[in-house]
Amino acid sequence: MVRGARRVVALTGAGISAESGVPTFRDAGGLWRRYRVEELATPEALQRDPRTVWEWYDHRRSFLASCEPNPAHHALARFFLGRGVAGLITQNVDGLHTRAALEAAGDAPADAALPVELHGVIARDRCNSCGARYPGEPLGDPLPRCADCGGLRRPDVILFGESLDGTLLARAQAMAAAADLCLVIGTGAEVYPAAAIPWTTRHAGGDIIEVNTQATSLTSVAAVAVQGKAGEVLPELLG
C-alpha cells in the first residue's frame, strides 16, 4: 500500500515522541502537579499570571531541548524527503520532526520533510499582541517583550480555548484531501480539528494505516492497523 500510494500524508501525535522520552502534556512532574493544565495553558491564565504560565512552559522547553528524534522521526523525514512532496502533519510542539528533517536533508532542501506543526512550536516565541515571532530565549526577568510593539511574548503554541492557525489547518486539510493514503501514528485522532485529517483522506477515497501501541477509535476503520512502537514499525514500513 505504501509503495503503491500516489500521495501519502502522515498525522502524528504524542505517542511518537513518547519514545524520545517526551512526557505527556499532563505529566510535567515537580511543582506543576499542584496545577491543572487547563488552568495554566489558557489565554486567561497568561493574562492573569503570565509569570507562572511562562515558568510552566520554560520548564517544558528546557526538558524538550534534551530530547532527541527517535527512529520513527527519522524514518518519516527520510520518507518524505525521498518523495520530494510534503505530507507530514503533527500535533506535537516538541520540534523533533523538524530536527529530524534537517538532519536528513544535509545540503538538500528539507521542505518536503518539514512538518505542518498544527499546535505550534514550544521553542519559538510569539508576540501576544502583534503576532511577531522570535527564536525562544531563556526565561529571565522581566518577561520577554516584543521588539516591534512592546507586547508580551509567549511560547508559540496553541493554548486551550484558542483556534488553530487557519492557514496551517487549510494546508493540512488540502494535503489530506489530495492523499490516497493516510498514516496515523501515535495518536487516537480524537481531538478536532486535527482528528478530521484521516477522515478527509478516507472520504476522498483513500486508505488509512494506523500505527499505535493500542487500539483507538480509528482501528476499526483503518485498512491496516499495526500495533507496536512507531520507532520499530516505521523504519520497516517506510524503508
Q: Which three cell numbers stand for residue 147?
A: 521588539
Whether omega for the bond prior to residue 193 falls within 30 degrees of 0, making it cis, is: yes
Judge contact between 92 and 122, C-beta under 8 A.
Answer: no
CA distance 176 to 3: 18
Rounded-to-5 percentages of helix, strand, coil across the chain: 40, 20, 45
Question: 75-78 — which CB contacts under 8 Å span 24+ positions?
Answer: 75/234, 75/235, 75/237, 75/238, 75/239, 76/10, 76/12, 76/100, 76/113, 76/185, 76/234, 76/238, 77/101, 77/103, 77/104, 77/105, 77/113, 78/104, 78/113, 78/238
Catalytic residue among 73, 74, 97, 119: 119
DSSP state of 151: P
74 assigned to active site: no
* Three cell numbers, residue 103: 538532519
- Known catalytic residues? 119
